[in-house]
């Protein structure tokens, strides 16, 4: 494996990591696209958005030149509407639901229009929301990811003082440390966090970790309520021999390094294998290729039809020149002098359908071997089980359990986002943060505000 990634020039790195969805380059383009929208009654695009953004309204506001109003419409439902316009899998959400699909025409470019309005607001520091007067209550939020930020913003708007405790040095959660660099830049993530906190009443304490620097008991004693938005952070291991060989890394750490360093400092192999076919696996594979890996092969134990990534992501990996091996599961990693050299895989076949009709992969007993110099494990993430188990919070294998009000079984402690759902998307975490804030307002006796 390369010690220093000097395969590409700075210009090539810049090109490879440039924005995958470029914005409108002039206002006319946005207005022309906005004018295509037919303002559907009971709009399916809005219904398919987990945060229920009023899509026809914000598009109408763009076409009528009311950009401030458009940004306000978006942020009222989704304070991370800027990030979501870049990272949401819109093909399975708003754009996938647009009526134009049924007319066999291109759906309205909702994400691009949303990006147009929100970027203007964020980079122009538009003050679109007024915080209410302080109500004399304080809430602690753990985690400055999408769930924590959305919760903090919704509470602060109502005059509640919020302190966010974040273990990393920057906010944004996996938006900043996980999502592929060609979808969203660290600079944008920072600008968005600054924009969200600019309403006032939100103090982010970085490098402060629950379970290390303070306990849940401390928060319970010092705050009127607590929201846990800690996400799911630990990569699942493959449980096979050779995982500790040099050159075997987990996708989350690989992407974390990529997001925190100069690209030229990121090691990447010549022959990379990525295990998994989800969003994280695709991000790891495409970014390995963009860092200069010669061959990137993705391995999945089921068939192409059952891949968990969207077709858009799959096509991105295909366009980047990645190859795919279906019905294969990692069995063993072999190395020489402590460095990984081969991956042995079991050939799988599909078994009999279970009660739900799903056919699970079954080991055929046959194997094949691939030469590798880097293996990236993207077999999913597991919740912070140990951390959650240090308290009496009800959880299922580390996944925090909440009721319909967003509350855990512990009085005054709420939770949401990946920590509860086990890992979905940014837009789901934002809605969970809003739901948590609503639950907290009711708990604190401010029913009239929700
Ligand atoms: C590689 C990758 C790519 C992805 N790509 C996309 C994408 O393209 N589009 C999309 O919509 N979604 C994507 N996702 C999913 C998305 O990033 C998450 O669903 C979303 O960020 C969840 O938000 P959250 O606030 O619940 O958790 P997180 O974003 O994980 O935020 C949790 C925060 O809590 C902090 N924290 C954790 N433990 C502690 C502690 N003990 N004390 C203090 N702070 C703590 C963490 O540092 C973090 O900042 C991706 C995820 C990964 C891993
Ligand atoms: S479904 Fe498409 S055309 Fe209809 S309101 Fe939504 S974006 Fe406009």
Instruction: Give me the pLDDT at residue 387, please.
Output: 84
Report the nearest atom of ligand 1 relative to the CA of 88: 11
Give the closest ligand to the alpha carbon of residue 100.
Answer: 2
Q: pTM (2 decimals)?
A: 0.93
Pairing of the two strands 381-382 and 395-396:
unpaired
Report the nearest atom of ligand 2 relative to the CA of 46: 6
**Is 110 close to ligand 2, i.e. is its CB under 6 Å away?**
yes
Pick the CATH number of 138-233+383-449 from 3.30.420.40, 3.40.50.10860, 3.50.50.60, 1.10.287.3510: 3.50.50.60
* Max CA pair span of the chain: 68
Q: What is the Cα–Cα distance from 162 to 22, expressed in whole angstroms?
A: 35
Instruction: Give me the pLDDT at residue 182, please.
Output: 87
Q: Judge contact between 270 and 373, C-beta under 8 A.
A: yes
- Secondary structure element (H or E) that encloses residue 290, with its range: helix 279-290
List the CATH code of the domain at 21-123.
Answer: 1.10.1060.10
Instruction: Give me the pLDDT at residue 450, please.
Output: 57
Give the closest ligand to the alpha carbon of residue 433.
Answer: 1
Dihedral angle sign, alpha carbons of residues 296, 300, 305, 311: negative
Q: Whose CA is nearest to atom 4 of ligand 2?
A: 40
Instruction: Give me the pLDDT at residue 215, please.
Output: 93
Pocket, ligand 1, Cβ cutoff 6 A: 87-88, 142-148, 165-168, 173-175, 178-179, 183, 209-211, 229-231, 233, 252, 255, 279-280, 283, 387, 417-419, 423-427, 429
Instruction: Give me the pLDDT at residue 2, please.
Output: 43
Q: What is the Cα–Cα distance from 198 to 181, expressed in whole angstroms?
A: 25
Instruction: List all residues 6 or more positions away from 190 whose beta carbon is below 8 Å from its beta carbon.
Output: 170, 171, 172, 176
**Is 103 close to ligand 2, i.e. is its CB under 6 Å away?**
no
Q: Judge contact between 394 and 405, C-beta under 8 A.
A: no
Q: Judge contact between 418 and 427, C-beta under 8 A.
A: no
Question: Helix axis angle, 67-77 relative to 110-123, nearest 10°?
Answer: 100
For 338-349, the DSSP string reads TEEEEEEEEEEE
Q: Whose CA is nearest to atom 2 of ligand 2?
A: 98
Which of 227, 222, 233 has its CA nearest to residue 168?
Answer: 233
Instruction: Give me the pLDDT at residue 1, please.
Output: 47
Write the DSSP symbol of residue 210.
B
Give the closest ligand to the alpha carbon of residue 280.
Answer: 1
Q: What is the Cα–Cα distance from 79 to 193, expressed in whole angstroms?
A: 10
Instruction: Give me the pLDDT at residue 449, please.
Output: 61
| Domain locations along the chain | 21-123, 138-233+383-449, 235-380
Render the burial of 222-247: b for 16+ CB within 10 Å, e for the rest: ebbbbbbbbbbbbbeebebebbebeb
Instruction: List all residues 6 or more positions away from 120 whose beta carbon is below 8 Å from its beta carbon.
Output: 67, 71, 126
CA dihedral 302, 305, 309, 315 (to 10 degrees): 120
Instruction: Give me the pLDDT at residue 218, please.
Output: 95
Q: Judge contact between 143 and 228, C-beta under 8 A.
A: yes
Which of 192, 205, 181 has its CA nearest to residue 260?
Answer: 181
Q: What is the Cα–Cα distance from 429 to 150, expressed in whole angstroms?
A: 8
Q: What is the Cα–Cα distance from 130 to 448, expressed in whole angstroms?
A: 18
Q: Best substitution site from 39, 43, 58 to test ligand 2's pocket, by max atoms within 8 Å of Cβ?
A: 43
Q: What is the Cα–Cα distance from 172 to 145, expressed in whole angstroms?
A: 4
Residues 235-380, CATH architecture: 3-Layer(bba) Sandwich (3.50)
CA 24, 25, 27: angle at the middle one, nearest 5? Answer: 75
Q: Best substitution site from 30, 33, 37 to test ligand 2's pocket, by max atoms within 8 Å of Cβ?
A: 37
Tens digit of pLDDT per residue, the chain (450 long)? 444 566 788 888 888 888 888 888 788 899 999 999 999 999 999 999 999 999 999 999 999 999 999 999 999 999 999 999 999 999 999 999 999 999 989 999 999 999 999 999 999 999 999 999 999 999 999 999 999 999 999 999 999 999 999 999 999 999 999 898 889 988 899 999 999 999 999 999 999 999 999 999 999 999 999 999 999 977 888 999 999 999 999 999 999 888 888 877 888 999 999 999 999 999 999 999 999 999 999 999 999 999 999 999 999 999 999 999 999 999 999 999 999 999 999 999 998 888 888 888 999 999 999 999 999 999 888 888 888 888 889 999 889 999 999 999 999 999 999 999 999 999 999 999 999 999 999 999 987 665
| Within this chain, domains 138-233+383-449 and 235-380 share the same CATH topology | yes
Report the nearest atom of ligand 1 relative to the CA of 418: 26
């Amino acid at each position: 494996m390369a010690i220093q990634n000097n395969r590409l020039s700075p210009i090539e790195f810049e090109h490879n990591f440039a924005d995958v969805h470029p914005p409108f380059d002039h206002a006319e383009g946005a207005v022309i696209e906005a004018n295509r929208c037919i303002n559907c009654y009971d709009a399916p695009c809005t219904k398919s958005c987990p945060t229920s953004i009023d899509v026809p309204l914000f598009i109408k506001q763009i076409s009528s030149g009311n950009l401030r109003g458009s940004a306000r419409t978006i942020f009222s439902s989704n304070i991370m509407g800027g990030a979501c316009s870049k990272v949401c899998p819109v093909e399975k959400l708003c754009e996938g639901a647009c009526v134009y699909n049924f007319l066999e025409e291109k759906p309205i470019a909702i994400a691009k229009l949303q990006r147009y309005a929100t970027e203007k607001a964020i980079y122009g520091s538009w003050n679109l929301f007024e915080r209410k007067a302080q109500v004399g209550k304080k809430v602690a939020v753990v985690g400055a990811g999408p769930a924590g930020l959305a919760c903090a913003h919704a509470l602060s708007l109502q005059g509640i003082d919020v302190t966010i405790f974040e273990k990393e040095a920057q906010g944004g959660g996996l938006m900043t440390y996980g999502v592929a660099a060609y979808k969203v830049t660290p600079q944008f993530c920072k600008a968005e966090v600054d924009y969200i906190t600019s309403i006032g009443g939100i103090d982010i304490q970085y490098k402060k970790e629950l379970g290390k620097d303070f306990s849940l008991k401390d928060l319970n004693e010092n705050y009127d309520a607590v929201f846990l938005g800690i996400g799911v952070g630990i990569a699942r291991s493959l449980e096979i021999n050779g995982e500790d060989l040099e050159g075997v890394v987990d996708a989350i750490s690989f992407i974390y390094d990529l997001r925190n360093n100069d690209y030229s400092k990121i090691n990447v192999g010549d022959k990379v294998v990525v295990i998994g076919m989800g969003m994280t696996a695709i991000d790891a594979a495409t970014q390995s290729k963009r860092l200069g890996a010669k061959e990137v092969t993705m391995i999945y134990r089921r068939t192409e039809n059952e891949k968990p990534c969207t077709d858009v992501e799959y096509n991105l990996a295909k366009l980047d020149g990645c190859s795919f091996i279906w019905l294969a599961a990692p069995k063993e990693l072999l190395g020489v002098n402590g460095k990984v050299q081969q991956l042995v895989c079991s050939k799988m076949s599909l078994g009999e359908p279970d009660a739900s009709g799903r056919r699970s992969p079954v080991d055929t007993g046959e194997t094949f071997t691939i030469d590798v110099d880097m293996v990236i494990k993207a077999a999913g993430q597991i919740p912070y089980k140990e951390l959650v188990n240090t308290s009496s919070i009800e959880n299922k294998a580390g996944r925090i359990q909440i009721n319909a009000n967003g509350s855990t079984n512990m009085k005054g402690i709420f939770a949401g986002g990946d920590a509860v759902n086990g890992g979905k998307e940014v837009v789901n975490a934002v809605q969970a943060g809003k739901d948590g804030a609503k639950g907290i307002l009711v708990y604190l006796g401010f029913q009239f505000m929700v």
